[in-house]
Amino acid sequence: MADEVRGPDTTALDEVVTFTSELIRIDTTNRGGGDCRERPAAEYVAERLAAAGIEPTLLERTPGRTNVVARIPGTDPTAEALLVHGHLDVVPADPAEWTTHPFSGEVRDGVVWGRGAVDMKNMDAMVLAVVRSWARQGIRPRRDIVLAYTADEEASAEDGSGFLAYRHADLFEGCTEGISESGAFSFHPQPGTTLYPIAAGERGTAWLTLTAHGRAGHGSKVNTANAVTRLADAVSRIGAHRWPVRLTPTVRAALTELAALQGIEIDTHAPHFDVDVLLDKLGPAAALVAPTVRNSTNPTMLAAGYKVNVIPGQAVAHIDGRTLPGTEEEFARTMDELTGPDVEWEYHHREVALEAPVDSPTFAKLRAAVERFDPDGHVVPFTMSGGTDAKQFSRLGITGYGFSPLRLPPDLDYGALFHGVDERVPVDALHFGVRVLDHYLRSA
């Protein structure tokens, strides 16, 4: 109990700001072409773990694509271990679009600026600050804590969590649950209401490549077998398709709790329940669940031809598809119908959807940790529209939750900052995150 009261020391609150800023300054841009080099950031983390007496292991599948794994022994050797993971890579950022250079890590007016401030070098820094605080205070968690700082999350994860799960499963021995990004951030749907959505599910990844074949020829001639036209027709159908509602247990729980907070009684299993009507009633809070009541397919890339007066014999498109649990066969059948006979499709990258229990002791402890430091806040479960490294670690039987706690001001749009311009995080939010993580990890 004394450890719980004491909490992280003041050095941890200073370090989380420093670590976030300095990690941002290490450019780990992942463009998806294999040119990212996470090693400098991995070495930065490893040095600070080692300085706290925590032995890090650096692992690479590809030179420069470095991962860090470390284990902190718990006081109860019979307890199951907990995985805490975060990725070191970030998506690209164009300095011309930003008001502050995206890799400056500038701390100004109580805010840390730069790419990775919320996705997710902030969480990397918070975890690092917490475990170093434990070392200074002589604190040990109840269960083993396995730390993993991964490469390549923003692309295929083949050099990161996928590599660790396939090749180094022994490092995660005993781990049954994990926490990582995209959860426990404050969301303000209306004045006076603060929500903290904790992720207990992720939609599956179904990135597709579409290929249309046709008859090559001169651009001035009639061509009824034009590959570009065939592809464009298929892409248009896919982009316009409205997928049917498919409610998962996590989404049902989210809808029920969000409705209750607004005094709306619902039964998501009722025969005539209309989720779209409810979403309209929920107002801004609907943003937490609207992307996850259906599958989705968004065209993102097109490629065809090499000269304006030449009709190419082939055209290619890429689709960002996302699937809910149990809908994989339906998804494939629908894609066959939407692409039609003249366009082939295949999975470019595929990961299964995840679902974690929201009625578990773990979720209850996650909820309690947040509400301890914001008693007026309301924790709700939700499903991520995208995905994280938890998909790869699930192959080891590890159940994942999105839990990267931040208390943000109402005028800061957390969702818009993900992969957005002028990504930033308030210092106060980092301090909140350190306190919440410290409390949860010791009570887990």
| Half-sphere exposure (Cβ direction) of 102: Cα atoms closer than 13 Å | 22
Report how far apart, in Å, the C-alpha atoms of 66 and of each of 9, 42, 413 are: 30, 6, 31
Q: Say whether 57 sits in a helix, a strand or coil.
A: strand
- Residues constituting the chain: 444
Report the C-alpha gap between 151 and 155 in whole angstroms.
9
Report how far apart, in Å, the C-alpha atoms of 59 and of each of 55, 127, 185 are: 13, 20, 31
Q: What single letter denotes the amino acid at residue 107?
A: V
Rounded (10°) CA dihedral 260, 246, 359, 264? 10
Q: Is 159 a catalytic residue?
A: no
* Residue 124 · residue 136 · CB < 8 Å: no
Report the C-alpha gap between 107 and 179 in whole angstroms.
27
Name the DSSP class of 213: E
Report the C-alpha gap between 286 and 187 in whole angstroms.
11
Question: Which is the catalytic residue, given 38, 89, 351, 355?
Answer: 89
Instruction: Render the burial of 285-305: b for 16+ CB within 10 Å, e for the rest.
Output: bbebbebbbbbbbebeeeebb
Question: Which is the catalytic residue, given 15, 124, 144, 153?
Answer: 153
Report the C-alpha gap between 145 and 84 in whole angstroms.
7
Closest alpha carbon to 136 in 144, 145, 148, 128:
128
Name the DSSP class of 154: T
Pairing of strands 204-213, 145-150: unpaired
* Residue 398 · residue 176 · CB < 8 Å: yes
Q: Is 27 a catalytic residue?
A: no
Name the DSSP class of 80: P
Name the DSSP class of 185: B
Q: Which two tokens stand for residue 320?
A: 């960002």
Evaluate the CA torsion angle 89, 127, 50, 392 in order and state its sign.
negative
Q: What are phi and psi of 109, to 5 degrees?
A: 55, 40
Please list the active-site residues.
Answer: 89, 153
